[in-house]
């Protein structure tokens, strides 16, 4: 994946670049808004990681200008400002996701992978039936089966599984689940999401020898066919 | 700036001078009017006197001839303050009268002369006087002159002039003196206020502006400023307390973080143990970050104004989704979590923040639902979330439990940051949940009510009625 990091703090940028390269991505850097804008317009990136506060051209204006120029590369905003209205501003300016500093690298990684995948697969990903191993989820009939056996899921469990299966093979973090399944962006003080996931796991994996819903230590969860 | 200069520059002094000037102009006007009117009256009086005298003398001439007129004139000139008389022959030879000399041009033609120079017989020095005279030609070439000296008219003018000058002097003196006195009084008070204000700015924060006790406008101003200083003082001490608390409360987790890392350095023997220690360190710092986020959010909510990010939201949906979010956790904890809400419930605010406030309340309720009050039987492990609209347009979402509750005396205090009651210190948390819910409700222009649920706690988020004309 080709990623552009627009961040004026060189230490932070170097850290992100190094970590993303270790994950096998190609990473370019820009240290101010104007350079970032020029690179983002010319280079064919899969994801842009843009800091909100940048010298010369701030992050919001950068993304707004890109969108005006019909550049639709997915953008993840990084910001020290994490309040509700700040995130709303970021998304309105044309950002696709918003992450508040300080963040866990696993969170950043999970989010940019989801963003990039959304772009590459596009609408094709919106199939009516998701399948992971012998687990099938039919979005129209709202039926979930595993090895032909119908599973009885609550509506919210269905949405949780639907979100995870749409991003099958990708790590989804707890906050991503809270945001996408419950539409809340706050930081739950307790392990509410974990309990939901373990309940879901009890329904889809219990009694089957190959667990599909796996915990990724220190990051979140992933649903995948264990054989892969 | 000299003391005098300062005095002269005061508003009080300038006002006094301005008033003095206005009074001077007014009195000049009044005196001028009086003088003009008086002069007119005196002139009219003169004319009438002369008319009467002339008529009398002409009558005498007609009846008894010139001899009688001469006798009559001689008699009249002897009276004190008499008018002016002159009777001459057709060649200008004086027959009787008290006028020594009159311009021949006046004497030669009959008529009224308002201001004619003349000399008097009874005046030893040949001083020229001025008079109003009337000249008549009598049959036989005789000329009769009757007049009044203008002295009385002039003395009236003099009197008015003197009165005006006197008034001007008095006004100027009193204006200046009064201005100085008033200005000095006001200046003295302003100076003492300025001095107090400077002292306060220099750090004597408990000092206040002096009051004269007269309840005048300066006192009222000083009173308002003092009230403002009191309020600022309260806010400052509140702020100081909060920052002290924050510093203290953040030290604890930081110490734990540090000692954990130190411990690992000292005792860990293999990479696996180092790894675990590092993971614990990250976990601890994540907790610290979430504390900072909560603190920032409280600060933002407290300092903010309800504005852009407020919209119409469904309070019933929030109640249901938060309950739904916490339901598995409640089940795991062995607590029944219920929700009671109508199909939809319109409220004005920020869904995100309201959801977080409610989540905090539910989180708290679940934590304490099973906690028994000292020595009492285990409570009914039940938490109920209910959303309802009140008749007055307010919307309420409450969370009720049957746990130990919060003693009435502490209900105010638990809303402060980092306040944790006895018995809750062993539980996870930082004592920010209620502060945040409270700050969020204040941002909404609503309130967080804490009440006794007999037993337990009933925490209610009260949303104010949506503003009239609020955007939907």
Residue of B nearest to A86 (CA): B309
Write the pLDDT tens digit of every residue in B124-144.
677 788 888 888 888 888 888
Q: A184 and B355 in contact by Cβ < 8 A?
A: yes
How far is CA B138 from its chain centroid?
Answer: 82
Residue A75 pLDDT exceeds 90: yes
Write the pLDDT tens digit of every residue in A217-226.
878 899 988 6
Note the pLDDT of residue B1: 56
Interface test with B, best of A80, A85, A92, A219 (most B CBs within 10 A): A85
Residue of B nearest to A155 (CA): B324
Residue pair B388/A222 in contact (Cβ under 8 Å)? The answer is no
Residue of A nearest to B298 (CA): A83
Write the pLDDT tens digit of every residue in A130-178.
888 888 899 888 899 988 888 888 888 899 999 999 888 889 998 899 9
Q: Give the domain-ending residue among B163, B189, B207.
A: B207
Q: A182 and B433 in contact by Cβ < 8 A?
A: no
Cβ neighbours of A187 in B, within 8 Å: 290, 293-294
The domain in which residue B357 lies consists of 306-463
A104 interfacial to chain B (CB closer than 8 Å):
yes
Facing residues of B259 across strands?
A: none
What integer is the mean pLDDT of B227-236?
Answer: 86
Give domain status of residue B468, yes or no.
Answer: no
For residues B184, B189, B192, B196, the Cα torsion angle rounded to the nearest 10 degrees is -150
pLDDT more than 90, % of chain A: 25
Q: B324 and A191 in contact by Cβ < 8 A?
A: no
Residues B195 and B73 in one domain: yes
**What is chain A's Cα-based Rg?**
19
CA distance A220 to chain B (A): 14
A211 interfacial to chain B (CB closer than 8 Å):
no
Note the pLDDT of residue B405: 78
A185 interfacial to chain B (CB closer than 8 Å):
yes
Residue of A nearest to B357 (CA): A186
Residue of A nearest to B322 (CA): A182
Cβ neighbours of A218 in B, within 8 Å: 279, 282
Q: B293 and A100 in contact by Cβ < 8 A?
A: yes
Q: B282 and A84 in contact by Cβ < 8 A?
A: no
Residues B256 and B150 in one domain: no
Q: Which of B289, B329, B350 sits opposite A84 (nearest CB)?
A: B350
What integer is the mean pLDDT of B373-401?
Answer: 81
pLDDT more than 70, % of chain B: 93
Question: Which letter, b or e, does each residue of A79-105 get, where b requires 16 or more Cβ atoms within 10 Å of its Cβ?
Answer: bebbbbbbbbbbeebbbbbbbbeebbe
Nearest to B334 by CA among B282, B377, B379: B379
Give domain status of residue B212, yes or no.
Answer: no
Write the pLDDT tens digit of every residue in B58-67.
888 888 888 8
Cβ neighbours of A189 in B, within 8 Å: 290, 360, 363, 428-429, 433
Q: B296 and A82 in contact by Cβ < 8 A?
A: yes
Give domain status of residue B469, yes or no.
Answer: no
Tell me the C-alpha distance between B47 and B132, whole Å: 8
Tell me the C-alpha distance between A105 and A119, whole Å: 21
ipTM field: 0.83
Give domain status of residue B195, yes or no.
Answer: yes
CB neighbourhood size of B83 (10 A) = 22
Facing residues of B452 across strands?
A: B457
Q: A218 and B279 in contact by Cβ < 8 A?
A: yes
What are the DSSP E strand ranges found in B138-254? 143-149
Q: Which CATH class is domain A127-223?
A: mainly alpha
- The pTM assigned to this predicted structure is 0.65
Write the pLDDT tens digit of every residue in B414-461.
887 777 776 666 666 777 888 888 888 888 888 888 888 778 888 889
Q: Which of A100, A102, A195 sits opposite B332 (nearest CB)?
A: A195
Phi first, then psi: give them for residue A62, nearest 5 degrees.
Answer: -55, -50
Q: List the structure tokens of A116.
A: 């990039």
Q: Which of B326, B353, B359 sits opposite A84 (nearest CB)?
A: B353
Q: Give the domain-ending residue among B245, B273, B301.
A: B301
Residues B258 and B310 in one domain: no
Residues B456 and B336 in one domain: yes
Q: B329 and A85 in contact by Cβ < 8 A?
A: no
Facing residues of B116 across strands?
A: B131
Q: List the structure tokens of A171.
A: 């790590």
A188 interfacial to chain B (CB closer than 8 Å):
yes
Output the 3-class SS for A88-125.
HHHHHCCCCEEEECCCCHHHHHHHHHHHHHHHHHHHHH
Cβ neighbours of B300 in A, within 8 Å: 83
CATH number at residue B369: 3.30.565.10
Tell me the C-alpha distance between A161 and A216, whole Å: 16
Residues B387 and B445 in one domain: yes
What residue spans define the domains of chain A? 2-123, 127-223
Cβ neighbours of A196 in B, within 8 Å: 325, 328
Residue B472 pLDDT exceeds 50: no
Q: Which of B11-25, B231-245, B253-267 has the highest mean pLDDT?
A: B253-267
Name the architecture of domain A2-123.
3-Layer(aba) Sandwich (3.40)
Write the pLDDT tens digit of every residue in B144-184.
888 888 887 788 888 888 888 888 888 888 888 888 888 88
Q: Give the domain-ending residue among B301, B335, B365.
A: B301
A184 interfacial to chain B (CB closer than 8 Å):
yes
CA dihedral over B401, B407, B409, B414, signed as positive or negative: negative
How far is CA B285 from its chain centroid?
Answer: 52
Q: B328 and A185 in contact by Cβ < 8 A?
A: no
Residue of A nearest to B429 (CA): A189
List helix spans (H) across B268-310: 271-303
Long-range contact pairs involving B437-442 (C-beta distance under 8 Å, separation at least 24): B437/B357, B437/B358, B437/B360, B437/B361, B437/B461, B439/B297, B439/B298, B439/B301, B439/B302, B440/B301, B440/B350, B440/B353, B440/B354, B440/B356, B440/B357, B441/B357, B442/B301, B442/B302
Domain count for chain B, please give it. 3
CA atoms within 13 A on the CB side of B305: 2
Cβ neighbours of B350 in A, within 8 Å: 84
Residues B58 and B136 in one domain: yes
What integer is the mean pLDDT of B329-338?
Answer: 88
A203 interfacial to chain B (CB closer than 8 Å):
no
Residues B48 and B179 in one domain: yes
CA atoms within 13 A on the CB side of B8: 5
Cβ neighbours of A104 in B, within 8 Å: 282, 286
Distances (CA, A) of B161 to B24, B28, B392: 13, 10, 78
A82 interfacial to chain B (CB closer than 8 Å):
yes
How are strands ordered across the β-sheet holding A97-100?
Answer: A26-30, A2-6, A47-51, A75-79, A97-100
Q: List the structure tokens of B97.
A: 């009268």
The DSSP 8-state label assigned to residue A179 in this structure reads I
pLDDT band at residue B304 under the 50/70/90 scheme: low
pLDDT band at residue A4 under the 50/70/90 scheme: very high
Note the pLDDT of residue B377: 61
Tell me the C-alpha distance between B132 and B149, whole Å: 6
Cβ neighbours of B296 in A, within 8 Å: 82-83
Interface test with A, best of B329, B330, B366, B420 (most A CBs within 10 A): B329
A174 interfacial to chain B (CB closer than 8 Å):
no
- For Cα atoms B104, B109, B110, give the angle at the middle one, nearest 5 degrees: 125
Residues B247 and B336 in one domain: no
Facing residues of B312 across strands?
A: B348
Q: A189 and B300 in contact by Cβ < 8 A?
A: no
Which string of DSSP letters, residue by residue, matches B328-397?
A: HHHHHHT-EEEEE--S--EEEE-HHHHHHHHHHHHHHHHHHTTPPPTTSPPPP-EEEEEEEE-TTS-EEE
Nearest to B236 by CA among B206, B213, B277: B206
Residue pair B352/A185 in contact (Cβ under 8 Å)? The answer is yes
pLDDT band at residue A63 under the 50/70/90 scheme: very high
Tell me the C-alpha distance between B331 and B202, whole Å: 60
Q: B350 and A187 in contact by Cβ < 8 A?
A: no
CA distance A185 to chain B (A): 7
């Amino acid at each position: 994946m080709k990623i552009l990091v627009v961040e004026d703090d060189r230490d932070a940028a170097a850290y992100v670049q190094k970590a993303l390269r270790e994950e096998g991505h190609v990473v370019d850097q820009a240290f101010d808004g104007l350079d970032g804008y020029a690179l983002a317009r010319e280079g064919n990136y899969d994801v842009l990681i843009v800091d909100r506060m940048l010298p010369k051209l701030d992050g919001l204006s950068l993304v707004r200008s890109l969108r005006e120029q019909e550049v639709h590369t997915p953008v993840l905003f990084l910001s020290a400002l994490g309040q509700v209205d700040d995130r709303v501003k970021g998304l309105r300016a044309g950002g696709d996701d918003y992450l508040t500093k300080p963040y866990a690298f696993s969170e950043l990684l999970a989010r940019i992978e989801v963003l990039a995948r959304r772009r590459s697969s596009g609408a094709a990903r919106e199939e009516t039936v998701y399948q992971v191993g012998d687990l099938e989820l039919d979005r129209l009939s709202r039926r979930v089966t595993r090895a032909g056996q119908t599973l009885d899921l609550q509506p919210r469990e269905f949405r949780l599984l639907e979100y995870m299966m749409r991003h099958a093979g990708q790590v989804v973090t707890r906050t991503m689940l809270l945001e996408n399944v419950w539409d809340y962006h706050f930081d739950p003080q307790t392990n509410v999401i974990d309990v939901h996931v373990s309940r879901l796991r009890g329904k889809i994996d219990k009694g089957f020898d190959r667990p599909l819903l796996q915990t990724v230590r220190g990051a979140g969860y992933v649903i995948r066919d264990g054989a892969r | 700036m000299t003391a005098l200069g300062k005095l002269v520059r005061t508003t009080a002094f300038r006002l006094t001078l301005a008033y003095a000037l206005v009074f001077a102009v007014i009195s000049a006007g009044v005196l001028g009017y009086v003088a003009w009117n008086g002069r007119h009256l005196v002139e009219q009086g003169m004319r009438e006197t002369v008319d009467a005298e002339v008529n009398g003398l002409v009558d005498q001439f007609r009846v008894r001839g010139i001899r009688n007129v001469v006798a009559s004139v001689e008699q009249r000139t002897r009276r004190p303050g008499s008018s002016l008389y002159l009777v001459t022959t057709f060649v200008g030879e004086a027959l009787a009268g008290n006028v020594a000399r009159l311009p021949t041009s006046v004497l030669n033609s009959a008529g009224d002369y308002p201001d004619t120079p003349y000399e008097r017989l009874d005046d030893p020095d040949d001083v020229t006087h001025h008079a109003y005279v009337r000249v008549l030609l009598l049959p036989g070439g005789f000329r009769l002159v009757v007049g009044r000296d203008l002295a009385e008219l002039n003395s009236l003018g003099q009197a008015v002039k003197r009165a005006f000058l006197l008034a001007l002097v008095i006004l100027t003196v009193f204006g200046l003196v009064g201005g100085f006195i008033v200005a000095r009084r006001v200046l003295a008070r302003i100076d003492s206020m300025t001095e107090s204000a400077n002292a306060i700015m220099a750090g004597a924060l408990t000092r206040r502006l002096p009051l004269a006790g007269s309840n005048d406008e300066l006192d009222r101003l000083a009173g308002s400023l003092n009230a403002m200083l009191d309020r600022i003082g309260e806010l400052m001490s509140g702020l100081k307390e909060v920052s002290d608390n924050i510093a203290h409360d953040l030290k604890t987790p930081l110490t734990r973080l540090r000692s954990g890392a130190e411990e690992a350095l000292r005792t860990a023997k293999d990479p696996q143990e180092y790894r675990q220690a590092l993971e614990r360190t990250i976990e601890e710092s994540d907790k610290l970050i979430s504390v900072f986020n909560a603190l920032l959010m409280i600060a933002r909510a407290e300092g903010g104004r309800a504005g852009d990010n407020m919209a119409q939201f469904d309070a019933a949906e929030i109640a249901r989704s938060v309950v739904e979010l916490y339901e598995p956790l409640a089940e795991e904890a062995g607590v029944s979590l219920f929700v009671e809400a109508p199909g939809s419930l319109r409220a004005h605010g920020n869904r995100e923040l309201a959801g977080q406030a409610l989540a905090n309340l539910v989180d708290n309720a679940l934590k304490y639902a099973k906690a028994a009050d000292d020595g009492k039987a285990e409570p009914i492990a039940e938490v109920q979330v209910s959303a309802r609209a009140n008749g007055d347009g307010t919307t309420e979402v409450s969370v009720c439990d049957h746990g130990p509750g919060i003693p009435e005396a502490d209900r105010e205090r638990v809303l402060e940051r980092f306040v944790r009651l006895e018995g809750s210190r062993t539980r996870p948390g930082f004592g920010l949940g209620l502060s945040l819910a409270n700050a969020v409700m204040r941002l909404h222009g609503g309130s967080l009510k804490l009440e006794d649920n007999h037993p337990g706690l009933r925490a209610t988020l009260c949303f104010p009625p949506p503003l009239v004309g609020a955007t939907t």
